[in-house]
Structure formats: structure tokens, C-alpha cells
Amino acid sequence: MENTIVAISTAAGNSGIGIIRLSGKNSFEIVKKIFVPKNKQQEIKGYSIKYGNIINPENSEIIDEVLVSYFIGPNSFTREDMCEINTHGGMVVERKILDICLKNGADLAEPGEFTKRAFLNGRIDLAQAESVIDLINAKSDKEAKESIKGLKGELSEKIGQIEEKITDVMVNIEVVVDYPEYDIDEMTNKEALEKLAIIENMLEELEHSFDKGKLIRDGIKTVIFGKPNAGKSSLLNAILNEDRAIVSEIEGTTRDSIEEYINVGGLALKLIDTAGVRKTDNIIEKIGVDKSKKLAEESDLIIAIFDLSKDLEEEDKQIIDIIRNKNAIIVLNKVDIKKENNDIENQLTDLCKPIIKMSALKREGLEDLYNEIIKIFSLNEILNSNDILITNERHKNQIRKAKESIKEGIEAIKNSMPIDISSIHIKQALNELGEITGKNASEDIINEIFRKFCLGK
């Protein structure tokens, strides 16, 4: 890369420290112009830190007292010469230093440009770069762990193994294509078919791992249903008030939809329509049966709350209808003021759903609820599995396309088509896989991926 880039790498706002990052062949030269180290010794060593002042070279004004770290390429994140200026946090100082870097020869980095350079300079592949974004955005422990696996290149390694197997088949087939004067060896066909079937299987397994990976990435979409006063808000508050609970609150597209994530055993539970629960007293009446059905349709899990201090009522029956064929947990709430001879439980056992008794108000029974969720989604199995899980939609699509190409290759051989036809399909599978690691990803795809990064990463 010709130019040297600079960006503020820490989040906007006041903080303990702020970091301004430079990468490119002029990094050290630019820093030399604006940084006066206390120890005048000018020699630069990689992985070293110097203490001193950032000055405005135009008037020698001291901007801040800083620490500057030096990384000599290729032993750096981007493989280029890099500097990180640690300032006292604060937007004014950070902006000033950024400006001075820009005036002294650096260009403002685009979002993700540091990581893009790491990719373009061959330090990481595309799948690894995408893991960097996933890691930054991780909402749960498991998601972060999967991203680290991706960052370490485990997915790329697996893709590499499959590519090797495909290449192996290609080599055999090409021999036949190149020397058509030899009869197409029955053996070659049989062997190719066997090998292709194994490849198809491997791709299919990876593709399916996305379903589990999706739970890790998106969280378990959960909706809470219950008639007015059953205890929906109380349950929500009990869940959200636990300090281990809140992961984040993300503003949805409309003002009403706040997405809240809670952490259950290392995975994120994504509560949908919690604003609806909070604002409308009667979820069925105010949002309507249709919207409730739609919410139920969209969710992975329904928590249906019934009030043990009352008998079953009309609205309860509507909820029962909605959850009948869905993944649901029945919560019998207000166990502390249970009505005598209340037989709601007996009336609900036919539904064959797990039933939890609790008191949302007293925060009793939450653990049972969490344990049930862990059981339903076999979370322990997912959490303890060392298999590679695809969590990225783009990767899944490429794997699916590769699998389809392999299938077409198999069909072509089975239908005794000319061998170059199946060879075209098999090559196509290799291309599709190559787009995952970026070996043959188009510039558009690469740009699209790095656009999702934040500035300074």
C-alpha cells in the first residue's frame, strides 16, 4: 500500500485513554515530526514504547503527554510499519492529534482499512477478517469463542482440507480429459463418485452447522405471552435486573422495538417485542391475535405465563392455542399467592410442554426457567462442542453453492456425460469455496465486507 493511514481507534467520547493508530511505510517518519520523546535516543525498536509529548510542529505547542508504541512490519497487525499513540482520552485531544497526523502526510483510514490491509498483505484471510467483526459484535461468551476459532483460522483450515480433496478428484479427472484417447476408466469414475460423495457430505455437515451457529449468532428469539397482570413485566424485570443478565440494548428500526439480549448459560436470548410487553397491558387484545401469531411464528421460543392466583380465562385459552405446536415453556406465575384448589397445571399438562412454577415478583424459579431453556436447545451440547460452527451467512451460502456444484458434478458422471462437464462443476465448487477465504473473492465482495467494520479497526 502506497499511503500511510491514520484513525482514532478507540470509541468516541471521553475515556481513560484514547488510541490513534497509523499504518504504512511513512508511519515512523510522520510520528518523528510530531512526537518529542523524553529520551532523545532516536533508535526505533519493534514492540517498544516511548514516552513523550505530541507537539504541533508549526508552533511547537504541546498537545498531550503520550505513549507511542512501535511495530516494525511485517511484525504488526497490518504487516506494515505501525504506530499507536496512547493519549489521555478525550475527543478534543484525539481530534487534534488526528489532524496533525493528517497535515503531516497521513490519510484518513476508511472503516476496516487496517484489517483490510492485514488481509491484502496476506496476514489473515477473508474468513479470519470477518471473524474480527464477529468478535467485536459478539453478544455472548460462546459467540466470542466461535469468533476466536474463526480468527485462528480453524474454518479456513477446514475449507482448505475440503479444497484439497476436490483438487485430488480434479487431478484424476483432468488426466482423462487431457488424454481422451484412453478409454474412460470405469475405475476412475467409481473412485471419483466415492470421493465426491464424501466431499458432498462434508459440505452438507458444515452447511447444517449454520443452524446451530445461528442460535449462537442471533440468539434465541424469545417472546413472552400472558394475559394482563399475569406477570410479564415482572418476569422481564426479574430477568433483566439480574446483573449477569443484560448484555445490550439495541435500538430497533422503529421506536417501539427495543431488542434486549440476556445471557443464558453462555448464549444470548434475544427478547423480541419487549417494548410491546412493557407498554401494552394486554398483549393479545391490544396487539391482536394475528400479530401474536406472527410473533409466535418468528420466535424460536415462547414463554407463556399463567397466573396461579386466578382460574384460566378466555385470554389464557387464546395463548394455549397459539403455543400448542410451538417451542414453548409454560410459566405458572405467582406461586406465592396460588389460589387454593387451582388446577391450571392439570389443564395444561396435555400440551406436553415443560412447566415451571415461579414467583416473578420474588424472583424465585428463574434458575429453573434457565435450565429448561438450556435443555430445550441442547445448549450444553452446542456450548461444549469443538466442531466448527458456521455462524456467518455469507460462508453458509458459499458452502451451499459449492455443495450444489459437487452434486451436479456427481450427476454428470452418473449420467455418463462427457467428463469435462463434471470437471466444470467441480471446478466451480472450488471457486465457491475460494470466495470464503478470499483466494478468489471479487473486489466488490471484499469492499462490502470491510464496509461493515468500524472506523479505526
* Count of alpha carbons within 13 angstroms of residue 28, beta-carbon side: 15
Among 92, 102, 250, 337, binds ligand GDP (CB under 6 A): 337
Taking CB under 6 A as the rule, does residue 292 contact ligand GDP? no
> How far separated are the first and last CA of the chain, in Å rounded?
17
Name the residue with cell 473412485. Answer: 191
Q: Which of 67, 177, 312, 361 binds ligand GDP (CB under 6 A)?
A: 361
CB of 236 to ligand GDP, least distance (A): 8
Q: Does 156 sit near ligand GDP (CB under 6 A)?
A: no
Establish if 359 lies at the interface with ligand GDP (CB under 6 A).
yes
Choices 75-83, 136-144, 296-304, 328-336; region in contact with ligand GDP by CB under 6 A: 328-336
- Does residue 368 interact with ligand GDP by CB under 6 A? no
- Examine residue 285 and tell whether it contacts ligand GDP (CB under 6 A): no
Cell of 267: 448464549
Q: Which residue stretch of 249-257, 310-318, 357-365, 419-427 sits at the interface with ligand GDP (rule: CB under 6 A)?
A: 357-365
Are 6 and 94 in contact, with CB atoms under 8 Å apart?
no
Query: Judged by CB under 6 A, which of 87, 222, 292, 333 binds ligand GDP?
Result: 333
What is the size of the binding site for ligand GDP (CB under 6 A)? 16
Nearer to ligand GDP, 104 or 333 (CB): 333
Give the DSSP H or E segment for 356.
Answer: strand 355-357
Q: Which among 351, 275, 282 is positioned nearest to 320, based on CA atoms? A: 351
Rama region for 313: left / alpha / beta (φ>0; ψ in -120 to 50; rest): beta
Q: Which region holds residue 327: left if phi is over 0, alpha if psi is between -120 and 50, else beta? A: beta
Q: Rounded to an integer, what distance in angstroms lies between the CA atom of residue 172 and that of residue 178?
A: 10
Choose between 116 and 232: whose C-beta lies nearer to ligand GDP: 232
Question: Which is nearest to 402 in space by CA: 436, 440, 421, 428?
Answer: 428
The CB-of-448 to ligand GDP minimum distance in angstroms stands at 42
Q: Identify residue 37 by its one-letter amino acid code.
A: P
Q: Which residues pair with 264 in a beta bridge?
A: 267
- Establish if 226 lies at the interface with ligand GDP (CB under 6 A): yes
Q: Examine residue 456 and tell whether it contacts ligand GDP (CB under 6 A).
A: no
Choose, by CB under 6 A, the member of 230, 267, 374, 413 that binds ligand GDP. 230
Using CB under 6 A, which of the segments 109-117, 207-215, 292-300, 358-366 binds ligand GDP?
358-366
Q: Do residues 289 and 315 touch, judged by C-beta distance below 8 A? A: no
Q: What is the dihedral of CA 20, 26, 29, 30, to 10 degrees?
A: -40
Does the footprint of ligand GDP cover residue 334 (CB under 6 A)? yes
Nearest to 195 by CA among 406, 355, 391, 12: 406
Report if residue 276 touches ligand GDP, rule: CB under 6 A.
no
When binding is defined by CB under 6 A, the residue of 231, 266, 409, 438 that contacts ligand GDP is 231
Compute the least distance from the CB of residue 368 to ligand GDP, in Å. 14
Cell numbers describing residue 401 = 453453492
Residue 372 corresponds to which cell in the numbers above?
429448561
By the rule CB under 6 A, 150 interacts with ligand GDP: no
In degrees and rounded to multiples of 5, residue 196 shows phi and psi of -65, -35
Asked if 280 interacts with ligand GDP (CB under 6 A), we say no
138 or 332: whose CB is closer to ligand GDP?
A: 332
Which positions touch ligand GDP (CB under 6 A)?
226, 228-234, 281, 333-334, 336-337, 359-361
